[in-house]
Structure 1
Amino acid sequence: MRSFTELRSIDAIDLFTKDNRLSLLFVSRPGCSVCHDLLPQVQTLMKNYPKIQLGYINADDVETIAGHFSIFTVPVILVCVEGKEIIREARIVHMDLFKEKLDKLYKNVAG
């Protein structure tokens, strides 16, 4: 299972998305049961996309994340290409649809 890099500030998040051509940010909170159920599913899925770098953000630790990315609920998955958000999934994520979006993006960008 692939591991996530924990990002603890907006500066670290911005640097992570800009330094990695393809990145996925998983925004969560410790008391969120949906978050805890979704994270292992995302980790398993990401085995298929080795060129996507994985970042994890605890919204309780990075309180300004909500305003920075206009996040109103958790969990949120943001997929970025060269620092620009391309895919956003929030709260209830349909993994089959998310995989379809990732497949298209990965084929076109990671080629």
Structure 2
Amino acid sequence: MREIEELTSLEMVEKFIKKHHLSFLYISRTNCSVCHALLPQVRNLMNQFPLIQLGHINADNVNEIAGYFSVFTVPALFLFVDGKEYVREARFVHLDQFKEKIKKIYDLYTLNDSK
């Protein structure tokens, strides 16, 4: 399973998104059972997309993250391409649909990147 970089401040999150062409953020809370159940499944799914860099934020430790991204519920999943948000899912994530959204963007990005 791939490693997820633990982001512990808003500044780290901003740098992470700017640093990577393809970046994925998983926002959770400590006592969220859905968050803990979904994270391993998402990590496993993201193995199919090795160019996407993975980041995790515990909203209990980075209080301002909810306001920054307008997150009202967790888990919240984001995919950024060159700093721009392309995919946002929250709470009840249908992994098959989520995978298809990621795959379309990933395939377009890698196709354009190889030209």
Aligned counterpart, 1:96: 96
Which AA in structure 2 matches 1:93? V
Distance in 1, matches of 2:39 and 2:60, equals 17
Give the secondary structure class of the aligned counterpart of 2:106: helix
Aligned counterpart, 2:39: 39
Aligned counterpart, 2:62: 62
Which AA in structure 2 matches 1:77? L
Matches within 5 A, 1:1-111: 1-111=1-111
Aligned-CA RMSD value: 0.6
Report sequence identity in percent. 54
Displacement of 1:3 in angstroms is 1.1
TM-score (ref. length: structure 2): 0.95
**Count of equivalent residues:** 111
Distance in 2, matches of 1:102 and 1:66, equals 23
Distance in 1, matches of 2:18 and 2:81, equals 8
Distance in 2, matches of 1:110 and 1:16, equals 20
Distance in 2, matches of 1:38 and 1:107, equals 24
Distance in 2, matches of 1:93 and 1:106, equals 19
Distance in 1, matches of 2:22 and 2:32, equals 26
Displacement of 1:7 in angstroms is 0.4
Give CA deviations for 1:70-108 in whole Å, capped at 9, x if unaligned. Answer: 000000000001111110000000000000001100001
Gaps of 5+ in 2: none
